[in-house]
Structure 1
Amino acid sequence: MLAAPSANTVYAKLAARVPAMRLYSGLFLFAYVLMHFCNHAFGIISPEAMDEVEDLLTGPWKHPPLEQLLMLAVVTHFLLATGRLVRRRTLRLKPKEWLQTALGLLIPILLFQHILGTRVAEIFWHVDPLYERVLADIIVFRPDIGILQAISLLVVWSHGCIGIHYWLSVKSFYPRYRALLGALAVIIPTLALAGYTSAANTVLQRAAAGGNPYLENLIKDAGRTAQSFAFYTRMSEYLLVITILLALSPFVVRQVRLIADRVRQAHTLHLPGGRTVRVAPGATALEALREAKVPIASVCGGRGRCTTCRLHCRGGLSDLPAPNPVESAALRSINAPGDWRLACQIRPQADLAITPLLPANATASDGRRPGGLTGSERQVVVIFADLRDSTKLGETKMPYDVLFILNQFFAEMTEALRATGGYYAQFTGDGLMALYGLEDLNIRRAIENAIRGAAEMLARIEKLNTHLKSELPFDLRIGLGIHIGDAIVGEMGPPRHEQISAIGDSINTAARLEAKCKEHGVPLIISQDVITRGKLHIPEGTKMYRESLRGKDREVEYYALTTLPTLTARDEKQPASGAFR
């Protein structure tokens, strides 16, 4: 017989679903707002045009089950959002988080009169919600409410856009479409406001031309009665008080919880360097660090999506509850080791020693960096690239000119890596180290990508020589050394400035091979291991060298090449095999 789940287990499962429920209810509401705004935009033509498209854009939302789902989404989103505010142990939030919270609490206060005068009046008093009648109500009779409606339009849209931004900010595709989405975020409310304003001006002109008879006929045709107006006036007063209390209630309940927490035992976070931070009972580690003004990344606003608040738990891990489904999914997505947790999800129940793993200015792309790379031994393809005659360049150009040229050089090299799946791992003054195969276990594919990367680097050097012809005293040249082997890959560097890099014999070998480019007078040296394992084709008769490299006892076999090796026929994207400069 199966045992019934405990209350804590049920609560944990429900709590894990809260972020998803808040997200999906918010997206459902945003879809309604978007259709409503599109309906408003037709006011640029006329109020009648707004009514004509209403059946297509907003009419379906008035019929069950959509209307019932809409009401459920309103209640669910408000309760979950305010509940999250109540659970916060600190109000030290990012400006965007504060803005989203404040706008969300203002929405009921700004919109209740509009809802009361349209949908509620339609349901209970059978008042026809024609746009012309509604506009006459809020522009002719109550222009103050007309202004509030224009403000509420911007408030609702801004609140939704901030929420969508937080949702999408952790998606890899978001940077590519951010400009387009940003443009739409401006265009759509602008058209809605333009339609609202144009239709309102049309109604004002008709009221000025037709006078009281026009307004009386409009009210009569819409079915507006003295009883419905009295109901609207009376309920407006009550709902104003209720919505204000609803907006204030999270802060009141939160303060009561904080007072109750003061009698409970607090715990301590131990940070590197000996600093300690007090954790209020029930607070997350992220809230405690923010309250103590400790810089820590949190791209998604503490929703457990971006993993930028990842921590290494150096002590006290066994006292933490197991990760909830949200945290578990996020940690699995980055292949995190067992001693990693998310600051936004853990609520310490004992003292805890932690080390933040990403700098406070980490981006969403940093959050997608695989955690399993830290301290792991794996096979990688290494490319060392070095700019030739950089000392001579410094002798013939002013320092700022050299800096400009080097910045252009590194920009082109890193773009070559980005385009071919390489990872920039180390900067060496006038050169760099790149790694291939960090996330792809297919080592042959990693070799092929590395060869494409080498081809891209050399092509970009030629392009740079053309672009900077007037600035350069001589053409830029590079030397490339490529090798494959085991290495320890992980986050390395000074505290809060770590980056993924690698150490090991294979790394040293690649560096020594690159240095051989000068001796052989070629732009490219590739180890025999890379040629064999990548099944690369080199010109027939190419000499293979076997020797001990500087500082190494074991002999290494390599080829000094003036042409790129070609990939096997199965690969359609082969780099050109023409001669280098």
Structure 2
Amino acid sequence: MTIEVRATIFSDQNIRKARLGAGLIIFIFVVMHLSNHALGLISLDAAEKGRHWFTAVWRNPVGTVLFYGAVLVHIILVLRTLYLRRTLAMPAGEAFQIATGLLIPLLLIDHVVGTRIVHTIYGYSDNYGAIVRTLWVSAPPTGVRQALALIVVWVHGCIGVHFWLRYRPWYTRITPIMLAIAILLPVLALLGFANMGRTIAYLSAEAEARGYPGGYYGDRGGFSGYGSMPTGHIGDAVLPYRIGFYGVFGAAIVVLFALRGQRKWRERAHQISIRYPGGEVIQVPRGFSVLEASRLGGLPHYSVCGGKGQCSTCRVHVVEGSANLPAPEAIEHKTLNRIGAAPDVRLACQLRPTHDISVVPMLVPMAEAAIPVYSQTASPGRERDIVVLFCDIRHFTTLTEARLPFDIVFLLNRYFSIVGRVIEESGGRLDKFIGDGVMALFGLGPAPKDASRQALKAAAEIIREIERLGEELADELAIPLRIAIGIHAGPAVVGSMGYGNVKNITAIGDTVNVASRLESAAKEFETALVFSEPVATLSGIDISAIESREIAVRGRAELLRVYIVPKEESGRFA
């Protein structure tokens, strides 16, 4: 697809990169800050020593500009995003992320004024003793507020990191580790804060018992080395800073919605019509995206990435009006090129038509009660390298043609229980049962190398267990019970597919088709197992003594080298 691309320094792609970069800087700051709090579980002194390293990084000129610049950029770009949205109808996840982002400044302004501003302007030591004494002893409600702020900031950051990484193929492998960190770090930080609070409360009570009401304070506000927050005239002196920060942020929100209102009023005279295949016509101001129009009109429209142009699930075929469309920007162009889209296919989240158009969404959500409008509950399809195993009972029709239906069900259940148990114990995932056939996926978690070994091990175990079952039922079967297995590795699209309550993770693509063909090839070769060269390469097994052939696979132009393993030799993979 050849389309002219508009690329400027202020393109949506560059702005998103700036927002992501600013967010990551803030997230690193938060991780270090919470880790510092967690040192309070050891002692107040340990936390204070950690604070010296923390302030060395973030209170030097470079760190200060980097952090507060990132905060400013992040807030400005969030407000910009809110302004550019033509409708505030959005999925719950996006709304929660935006709401928490706007709540964070309101929760943290007092904390910033009472620490960095007071320290910088008045020279008060905002050490852990001072801060914790105020939050735990002097003003517990403020401490509760800061604990809430900690949780909100952390959840907001974790959601942002998840949205950033969720389409990376390696993300699923580190998800358990990241989830453990996401849960443990704020818990440890709060426990560290509580431990320091108890220590300060004890020292305060002890000082009062010795005749120092409220504790002893030195020139810098130190209580036995641990100070208190400034009060009295200092508190009055910083009041303008608090009012200023709250005022600027509040004014920014008011101006934002005032500008949105002005734009809405102005655009009433410049509306366009977007027609849909069901006959719906939605009138929207010029500048709305097609996705925003769908949401405004209450029409179901897929957008797995949340309207960021990072997936193609919202794509539409422009039936009329394509000649007057604005050229796609870089991020849309990249996504459309990746899927090989035709020139009249555009991303609904990025396309902002300036004239009337007619569109046909190419992925239409199912009109079912189980899937609400704008739902993103289904796992998005993503391409990843996996290993696919197919197995089937050879000559199943001959085995069952003279048997009663209940006997056939008994045989199949015994067979399915063996195959299912072996696959799960080997680290695979049962995908589906197709008659007497079974499809299994390996590599949804492990790396392709480990997945290939797991699949070969599962195949060897299945062959051995089916042989035992055949010996057990030998007197009842007309012919020996034999199995055919095919294994192939490669890229496939993995995602949640189905209808209603019958949805599960499955895979589609050429890799799945080839694995099925190899299972058929095993029947043709009268052997137990056939696996492809990619499986052999990934697993690193010794293939010198294994028979190999190049075969033609239906649907592929090139020959595929496969390895043929009879039942007697399958034990080498166990």
**If the length of structure 1 is used for normalisation, what is the TM-score?**
0.70
The 1:93/1:465 distance shift into structure 2, 3 A limit, reads: farther
Amino acid aligned to 1:43? G
2:527–2:566 contact (8 Å) kept in structure 1: no
1:263 aligned residue: 269
Amino acid aligned to 2:329? N
- Seq. identity, %: 31
The 1:228/1:453 distance shift into structure 2, 3 A limit, reads: closer
1:329 aligned residue: 334
The 1:204/1:452 distance shift into structure 2, 3 A limit, reads: closer
Give the drift of 1:203.
Answer: 1.5
1:180 aligned residue: 177
Give the Cα separation in 2 of the matches to 1:258 and 1:85.
14
Give the drift of 1:207.
Answer: 1.9
Instruction: Please say if 1:395 is aligned against 2:400.
Output: no
Give the drift of 1:327.
Answer: 2.0
Tell me the secondary structure at the aligned position of residue 221 of structure 1: coil
Amino acid aligned to 1:395? P
Give the drift of 1:134.
Answer: 1.7
2:316–2:359 contact (8 Å) kept in structure 1: no
The 1:226/1:433 distance shift into structure 2, 3 A limit, reads: closer
Tell me the secondary structure at the aligned position of residue 298 of structure 1: coil
Instruction: Please say if 1:285 is aligned against 2:290.
Output: yes
Give the Cα separation in 2 of the matches to 1:79 and 1:36.
23
1:479–1:523 contact (8 Å) kept in structure 2: yes
1:514–1:524 contact (8 Å) kept in structure 2: no
1:102 aligned residue: 99
2:351 aligned residue: 346
The 1:462/1:351 distance shift into structure 2, 3 A limit, reads: same
The 1:66/1:407 distance shift into structure 2, 3 A limit, reads: farther
Q: Superposed, which structure 2 residues align to 1:175-324 within 5 Å?
A: 175-211=172-208, 213=212, 215=214, 217-218=216-217, 220-222=219-221, 224=230, 226-247=232-253, 249-271=255-277, 273-324=278-329
Deviates most, 207-216 or 261-270: 207-216
Deviates most, 471-480 or 386-395: 471-480
**Of residues 76, 79, 82 in structure 2, which corresponds to 1:82?**
79
**Of residues 24, 32, 44 in structure 2, which corresponds to 1:47?**
44
The 1:326/1:417 distance shift into structure 2, 3 A limit, reads: farther
Q: What's the CA shift string for 1:186-234, capped at 9, x where partnerless?
A: 1000011111111122222222222383646337433847542211244
1:170–1:299 contact (8 Å) kept in structure 2: no
Instruction: Please say if 1:144 is aligned against 2:141.
Output: yes
Amino acid aligned to 1:303? K
Give the Cα separation in 2 of the matches to 1:236 and 1:345.
39
2:6–2:330 contact (8 Å) kept in structure 1: no
C-alpha RMSD of matched pairs (Å): 5.3
Instruction: Please say if 1:169 is aligned against 2:166.
Output: yes
Instruction: Please say if 1:33 is aligned against 2:34.
Output: no
The 1:252/1:459 distance shift into structure 2, 3 A limit, reads: farther
Amino acid aligned to 1:263? A
1:39–1:50 contact (8 Å) kept in structure 2: yes
Give the drift of 1:61.
Answer: 0.1
1:356 aligned residue: 362
Give the Cα separation in 2 of the matches to 1:138 and 1:267.
56
Structure 1, unaligned runs of 5 or more: 1-7, 371-381, 436-450, 484-488, 528-534, 550-556, 566-574
Amino acid aligned to 2:242? S
Deviates most, 188-197 or 209-218: 209-218
Give the Cα separation in 2 of the matches to 1:315 and 1:470.
67
Tell me the secondary structure at the aligned position of residue 217 of structure 2: helix
Give the Cα separation in 2 of the matches to 1:322 and 1:94.
27
Give the drift of 1:56.
Answer: 1.6
Give the drift of 1:71.
Answer: 1.1
1:312–1:357 contact (8 Å) kept in structure 2: no
Give the drift of 1:387.
Answer: 3.5
Q: What's the CA shift string for 1:82-104, capped at 9, x where partnerless?
A: 21122222223222222211111
1:563–1:578 contact (8 Å) kept in structure 2: no
Give the Cα separation in 2 of the matches to 1:261 and 1:51.
56
2:305–2:311 contact (8 Å) kept in structure 1: yes
Give the Cα separation in 1 of the matches to 2:124 and 2:410.
73
Instruction: Please say if 1:366 is aligned against 2:381.
Output: yes
Q: What's the CA shift string for 1:248-285, capped at 9, x where partnerless?
A: 554443343333333222231424x5555555432222
The 1:177/1:252 distance shift into structure 2, 3 A limit, reads: farther
1:269–1:277 contact (8 Å) kept in structure 2: yes
1:568 aligned residue: none
Give the Cα separation in 2 of the matches to 1:22 and 1:267.
32
1:416–1:460 contact (8 Å) kept in structure 2: no
Give the Cα separation in 2 of the matches to 1:315 and 1:96.
33
The 1:322/1:120 distance shift into structure 2, 3 A limit, reads: same
1:19 aligned residue: 16
Q: Superposed, which structure 2 residues align to 1:435-454 within 5 Å?
A: none
Amino acid aligned to 1:199? M
1:289–1:296 contact (8 Å) kept in structure 2: yes
Give the Cα separation in 1 of the matches to 2:545 and 2:287.
62
Amino acid aligned to 1:297? Y
Amino acid aligned to 2:266? A
Structure number with higher relative contact order (C-alpha < 8 Å, ≥ 6 residues apart): 2
Give the Cα separation in 1 of the matches to 2:404 and 2:288.
55
**If the length of structure 2 is used for normalisation, what is the TM-score?**
0.71
Amino acid aligned to 2:381? D
Q: What's the CA shift string for 1:12-34, capped at 9, x where partnerless?
A: 74333111111110000000011
Amino acid aligned to 1:264? H
